[in-house]
Amino acid sequence: MHLLDEGASSSRNTMHTNLQSSATTAISLTETVSHEGGKDSQSTRSNSGTLRAKASLSHLASSRGSETGDSASIRSSIPYTESNDVDNIFSDFIVTESGPNQPDSAGLLQFPEFQADDVEDDFATEFEHVGGVGAKGENEEMVLEKWKAKRKHYLILSAAGKPIWTRHGDGGLISTYVGIIQTIISFYEDSNDRLNSFAAGDTKFVIVTKGPLHLVAISRFLESDTQLKLQLEALYMQILSTLTLPSLNHLFSVRPSTDLKRPLQGSETLLATLADSFTKGSPSTLLSALECLKIRKSHRQTINQTLLKTKVASLLYGLVVAGGRLVSVVRPKKHSLHPGDLQLLFNMIFEAEAIKAGGGESWIPVCLPGFNSSGYLYIGIGRHYFNKYE
């Protein structure tokens, strides 16, 4: 195909010689110009034209334009612009922070999508303990206000309406709210329908039912139903890693009003740390993926070969982790580890108090629901301390 006209094609050879690539250390368009032109770069910039497309968001709210609004708009530029040497290709997207006399220079806060919120103001207190209610209930109102101030809650209750676990507070504090949630869920179940989610103002409720358990997420953050559902399913897998699916179903088939707190005793910390990782926005938990430790390829190959040489016949999986990141893994060819199972392992290795207190080595049975939700695997954990990573 001929993409150039005849006049342009006649100078094709000249253009080709001018477009030869050369090594450069320039990291911005302006520096590229100066490297190309040498001493004539200043005149090249001063004589070059400037093309800018300005679309200030403030014009959407008012037909009256302003210099301040244009300066804060998103702009596109051709390479040769009249700018200082310190400018770079990203300079058009850098917005100067509003000072005390410029609260909203671009008029962004006039749109609901850009309304300022107070998330950062109280996010530091989101993970603080709300405390317990006294024996005489003298501080119940204060504790309840702290509980209501939390922007995100996770609740796990049985089909009989008995509270099992909550991220904030305890079963006695939230018993009234658990009863309300159970009533709403039962109303839909009686109508042969399943309630998945609903909203009340800026608060979103997402419900996931797994056998005899109802898992509920209550969030005032900007999260979708799918995100909250995946978080609840991860919490459910954390429960299965302790009980296994057959054991869980057996407990409730024998006694529907079973109190699951005792079988889950010791897992509260793991549930809390997993829930907090979702609230804090951990990429690994939100993406259902793992972060690998960045090391030299030759070092990783050495570690891999060492693991392969020392494996035994009864070994199913072998992992080397450091600083919460994956270094190496050995596994059977036909059995890959589910990312959710690896997250449970990492959560247990780095957060379980029993493992931290155990010192060098621990031998723990654990269920990996993604691999097999019906049984346990026995995990030997050895901790070695180095300069930076453990």
Residues 220-229 pLDDT 10s: 988 999 999 9
Q: Which of 283-287, 320-324, 373-377 has the lowest mean pLDDT?
A: 283-287
Phi, psi of 364 (to 5 degrees): -130, 135
* Residue 282 belongs to domain with CATH number: 3.30.450.70
DSSP label at residue 292: B
**What's the whole-number mean pLDDT along residues 212-225?**
92
Least Cα distance to 44 among 52, 53, 54, 34 occurs for 34
Cβ contacts of 145 within 8 Å, gap of 6 or more: none
pLDDT for res 358: 62
Inform me whether the pLDDT recorded for 49 exceeds 50. Answer: no
pLDDT for res 107: 56
**What's the whole-number mean pLDDT along residues 21-46?**
44
Asked if 291 and 324 count as a contact pair (C-beta separation under 8 A), the reply is: yes
Examine the domain organization and report whether 364 and 330 are in the same domain: yes
Q: What's the pLDDT band for 385 if we cut at 50, 70, 90?
A: low
**What's the whole-number mean pLDDT along residues 242-269?**
90
- Residue 329: give the domain boundaries: 297-382
Examine the domain organization and report whether 211 and 280 are in the same domain: yes
Examine the domain organization and report whether 266 and 150 are in the same domain: yes
The answer to whether residue 358 sits within a structural domain is: yes
Asked if 215 and 156 count as a contact pair (C-beta separation under 8 A), the reply is: yes
Examine the domain organization and report whether 318 and 354 are in the same domain: yes
The answer to whether residue 106 sits within a structural domain is: no
Q: Which of 66-70, 181-185, 255-259, 329-333 has the lowest mean pLDDT?
A: 66-70
Q: What's the pLDDT band for 19 if we cut at 50, 70, 90?
A: very low
Examine the domain organization and report whether 235 and 362 are in the same domain: no
pLDDT digits (tens, 9 = 90+) for 144-203: 888 888 889 999 999 888 899 999 888 777 888 889 999 999 999 888 888 999 999 989
Examine the domain organization and report whether 278 and 308 are in the same domain: no
The answer to whether residue 50 sits within a structural domain is: no
pLDDT for res 359: 63
What is the amino acid identity at position 193? Answer: D
The domain boundary, picked from 242, 264, 287, lies at: 287
Phi, psi of 92 (to 5 degrees): -70, -15
- Higher-pLDDT residue of 48 and 336 is 336
User: What pTM was estimated for this model as a whole?
Assistant: 0.66
152-158 and 213-219 strand pairing: antiparallel
Examine the domain organization and report whether 200 and 327 are in the same domain: no
The answer to whether residue 52 sits within a structural domain is: no
The domain boundary, picked from 238, 255, 287, lies at: 287
The answer to whether residue 168 sits within a structural domain is: yes
pLDDT for res 120: 59
The domain boundary, picked from 267, 287, 307, lies at: 287
Examine the domain organization and report whether 237 and 340 are in the same domain: no
Inform me whether the pLDDT recorded for 246 exceeds 90. Answer: yes
Inform me whether the pLDDT recorded for 117 exceeds 50. Answer: yes
Examine the domain organization and report whether 324 and 248 are in the same domain: no
**What's the whole-number mean pLDDT along residues 281-304?**
87
Examine the domain organization and report whether 196 and 312 are in the same domain: no
Q: What's the pLDDT band for 25 if we cut at 50, 70, 90?
A: very low
Examine the domain organization and report whether 363 and 272 are in the same domain: no
Please state, in angstroms and rounded to a whole number, the distance separating the CA atoms of residues 149 and 9.
70
**What's the whole-number mean pLDDT along residues 339-368?**
82
Q: Identify which of 139-148, 240-249, 331-340, 343-352 has the greatest average pLDDT.
A: 240-249
Residue with tokens 């996010």: 123
Rg of the chain over all Cα atoms, to the nearest angstrom: 30
Please state, in angstroms and rounded to a whole number, the distance separating the CA atoms of residues 325 and 302.
18
Asked if 326 and 356 count as a contact pair (C-beta separation under 8 A), the reply is: no
The answer to whether residue 19 sits within a structural domain is: no
Longest dimension (CA), the chain: 95
- The mean pLDDT of the chain is 73
Q: How many domains does the chain have?
A: 2
Examine the domain organization and report whether 152 and 239 are in the same domain: yes
Q: Identify which of 8-17, 42-51, 152-161 has the greatest average pLDDT.
A: 152-161
pLDDT digits (tens, 9 = 90+) for 122-135: 677 788 887 777 77
Please state, in angstroms and rounded to a whole number, the distance separating the CA atoms of residues 329 and 320.
6
pLDDT digits (tens, 9 = 90+) for 60-69: 444 444 444 4
The answer to whether residue 267 sits within a structural domain is: yes
Asked if 44 and 80 count as a contact pair (C-beta separation under 8 A), the reply is: yes
Please state, in angstroms and rounded to a whole number, the distance separating the CA atoms of residues 161 and 216.
12
pLDDT for res 301: 93
The answer to whether residue 49 sits within a structural domain is: no
Inform me whether the pLDDT recorded for 96 exceeds 80. Answer: no
